[in-house]
Chains A and B, each alone.
Chain A
């Protein structure tokens, strides 16, 4: 995941690398996601997440598009 200063820089990078644009989050959104995703990473009890638990993290972070979810 790369850091950009504006939407224009993202479009330029996608075009130069011939890649489709993915999802763009603000730093604030990424910080909220980081707290949910990493808060217990140093715990002995953390053994990874199930797909359902991953989906719950994304839901709590307010990420609602299909981009974040595995379609069944």
Chain B
């Protein structure tokens, strides 16, 4: 396995998320690097093992490349004329932080099920009365990434 292509693959996946709001398939990544789908799959699995992103190992699709989510969630982030999905209440702020851009965020609050709106503008965030609960200590974050 070529270490340079490995990290270029990670970068390509993230840039693809930023550009299109969704993850590139194995085939798209293989075509980009002019490698076989089997080789691209090996790079995906290695990056999954290194916690660079979280792969659905059966479907071979990227479920999470934090802060981006590969599937729809309760955390929608509108930025740069696109709508992204974030994995959680932390990642909904992680997207404008990663993109270095302003954003409007629509999120569903747990228990109350109310939809709230936040804005990131000029490096500041609004709606500061909201709270984020981290259920697990850092040492357990990777035990079950979906629950975390």
- Which A positions have Cβ atoms within 8 angstroms of B? 1-7, 9-10, 12-13, 16, 19, 21-28, 30-31, 33-35, 37-39, 41-44, 46-48, 54, 58, 66-71
Closest 10 A-B residue pairs measured CB to CB? A3-B89, A34-B97, A34-B93, A2-B110, A38-B97, A1-B88, A38-B98, A31-B125, A38-B94, A22-B135
Which of these binds chain A: B11-19, B21-29, B33-41, B54-62?
B11-19
Chain B residues in 8 Å Cβ range of A3: 75, 89, 92, 107-110, 116, 130-132
| Interface size class, chain B | 35 or more
- Which B positions have Cβ atoms within 8 angstroms of A? 7-8, 10-11, 14-15, 18, 50-52, 66-67, 75, 88-100, 107-112, 114, 116, 118, 120, 124-125, 127-139, 148
A66 to B137 CA separation, bound complex (whole angstroms): 8
Query: Are B138 and A70 in contact, with the CB atoms below 8 A?
Result: yes
A30 to B92 CA separation, bound complex (whole angstroms): 10
A44 to B9 CA separation, bound complex (whole angstroms): 9
Of A7, A28, A34, A41, the contact of B90 (CB 8 Å cutoff): A34
Query: Are A6 and B131 in contact, with the CB atoms below 8 A?
Result: yes
Contacts between chains A and B (CB distance < 8 A), count: 149
